[in-house]
Chains A and B, each alone.
Chain A
Amino acid sequence: GAVVSQHPSRVICKSGTSVKIECRSLDFQATTMFWYRQFPKQSLMLMATSNEGSKATYEQGVEKDKFLINHASLTLSTLTVTSAHPEDSSFYICSARDLTDEGYEQYFGPGTRLTVT
């Protein structure tokens, strides 16, 4: 099946700094990518939908100025957590959508564990 990669897999940063997470679709082109946040023992919370070449659509309650999303190409989307604080510590998962013979299908990256100290 299609593969989505994320980098880095783990990152530790100090409070007040910014962190960039990359999401790549390795063997298909994705016009749409999604960014999720997962808290321990909880479900995935959709943060935003990223469309190539246009601004991301953020879910209600997600600060667009804090979580900057860029989808500059059909295979790469980035999430930048700006001025990170300990409460931003979480598991961030990206997903890329591919059009198959059976319709659209979403493939998930392995996730990035962010710890803000």
Chain B
Amino acid sequence: GDSVTQMEGPVTLSEEAFLTINCTYTATGYPSLFWYVQYPGEGLQLLLKATKADDKGSNKGFEATYRKETTSFHLEKGSVQVSDSAVYFCALIRNVLTGGGNKLTFGTGTQLKVEL
């Protein structure tokens, strides 16, 4: 079945440091890939997504590129802020454009802590 593997956290960085959170996936066909962010005590928010190979999703300074050859979707940010402290989830879904029972498969989440 489909699966998503993320690096274990917590990841602790100083403000303005470079961030990489690794994500690899296993899925049949051509899934769409997502990064969600969960701030403390809140639900998930979509951070960015990519729907086909070589697409780059970006939002709020975060980027991730859909790499089919390595089945990866690593999340990066050039300069993190304290306000980026949260849990980040990588996820995939197949056949998103047709909907109909397709389900998100989530990774286990990676906690990011950014310190001054």
A interface residues with partner B (beta carbon < 8 Å): 1, 4, 6, 32, 34, 41-44, 46, 49, 57, 93, 95, 97, 99, 102-111
Contacts and interface: CB of A to CB of B under 8 A. Distances in A.
Contacts, number: 53
A34 B102 CA distance: 11
Interface in B22-57: 36, 41-46, 51
B37 to A, nearest CB: 11
B103 A108 contact: no
Given A103-B96, A104-B99, 5 more contacts: A1-B46, A43-B106, A46-B104, A104-B102, A111-B41
Given A44-B89, A93-B44, A99-B99, A106 B109 contact: no
Q: Which A-B residue pairs are the 7 nearest by beta carbons?
A: A103-B97, A108-B44, A108-B43, A104-B99, A110-B43, A43-B108, A43-B106
Contacts of A32: 99
Name the residue among A44, A102, A107 with the largest chain B CB count within 10 angstroms: A44
B30 to A, nearest CB: 13
Given A43-B89, A104-B96, A34 B46 contact: no
Contacts of A6: 43
B99 A103 contact: yes
Contact of A44 (B42, B46, B101, B106): B106
Which secondary structure characterizes the binding site on chain A?
A: strand
A111 B96 contact: no
Nearest to B87: A41
B84 to A, nearest CB: 19
Contacts of B101: 49, 57
B36 to A, nearest CB: 8
Contacts of B111: 41
A43 B96 contact: no
A61 to B, nearest CB: 14
Given A93-B44, A108-B45, A42 B108 contact: yes
Contacts of B104: 34, 46, 95, 106
Contacts of A102: 51
B99 A97 contact: yes
Name the residue among B43, B99, B103, B108 with the largest chain A CB count within 10 angstroms: B43
